[in-house]
Chains A and B, each alone.
Chain A
Amino acid sequence: MTSELTSLTAPQRHQVTVTVNGLPRSAEVAPRRLLSDFLRHDLRLTGTHVGCEHGVCGACTILLDGKPIRSCLTFAVAVDGRDITTVEGLAAEDGTLHPVQQAFQDHHGLQCGFCTPGFVMSACGYLAEHPDAQDDDEIREEMAGNLCRCTGYAGILGAVKQAAEVLRETGADPRDRHRPGGATLG
């Protein structure tokens, strides 16, 4: 019994394989590895930021199977086999910014940039489900789970509205990597 229990409580390492921004990525991790740290330390994708590690600031927001989630409140082992999009998966191969990123630049929706990846990923998830977004109050409420200590939010609100408009024109899915010219190829 004791030896059996010990093996059930021994923190073994796990091989975790996920698709990140369209590519299969794999690493061996301890169960306590947070998905945020898995992305940053094991996969060297440091675009995902880490602020509070208790779900409040939103800096670590990524898309899991197309839905925005907090990577700091998820263990890497728990998402084995799933599909992940991070802020590195948005700009076009040639560096052209994704409409959401472009809108943040146009509206000065960032200053220090610490919160920006989280805001951008939350906005992509939100606009994918609410392509008709234009109401200020609704956008504010949907983005209220992310904190910014610099901008005062006005620029961020403007950016999300612009991005919504641009995406409506091109019909692109905001969760896909940007393709200059507007067309999304599968």
Chain B
Amino acid sequence: MYGFDYHAPQSLSEATALLAQHGAAAKPLAGGTDLILHLKERRLKPRHLVDLKRIPGLDHLTAEGSELRVGAVVPLRALERAIAGDELLQATVGAGLRQMKSPTLRNRATLGGVLANADVTADLLPPLLALGTTVALHGPGGDRVLPLDEFLLGASRTALGAGEILREVTIPRVAGGRGFFQRLGLKRVGGPPLVIVAGVLVPGPEGGVARASLVAGAVGPRPARLPQVEQILLAARPAVSGIEQAAAAGAGEAGAVSDLWATKEYRQEILEVLLRRGLQAALGTGGDR
């Protein structure tokens, strides 16, 4: 039979104990927007669902000082509100959120769910990676903090160990940073993205950039930084003079693959276009859009 037991633990330790006890037969439940579909389509058949939404201390959102700390079960809608006045976060995370047009989805889906899901096409992962986000995990062996880059292992694979729960997400505020988010999908919004690029740049002396963090998503097994692109931009004086070369390098290094939706070659061409457009927008050279 396709039944399951529903658990609503009241504390983190109770939750990790349940997860540890039932092992692979248990799944944490956050917004359920992804997990329930898996159950419905029988791709997953967990015997136990451990609801994280009743656990005190997982739903906080603090925006003090140099970082934004977001509890794992905070819905995307709350995150959207919290970043309303922040230009950099708007240009990156906010732009990603605007792709998720459905209000019901944003009210229901959680930030922890987005990260734990590790979907290669997730709109929020590239901007969060570019911003240098870290995640705090809680498990039977205690707590640990990982950069998001190390947390994401591959398509739907994360560093979460047995019984471990993603507890909190920390998004640093990058002082003086300028950001962008570019996406090409088959539909105007929603639907499968073919390419996502996001970036955060901090202007430096001589028209250059002091910090560059560029990420491509939806092209390979997981969203990934583009170190060559970053190097080119860091070296260019002024930075805008490096845009063409950086964009061309990005097309090569992102490890684009072919799938149902597009060929590798097309993805590479689009990467170049979107990188160029994003960098032009962030570095203020106008661009076409």
**A and B associate in one complex:** no
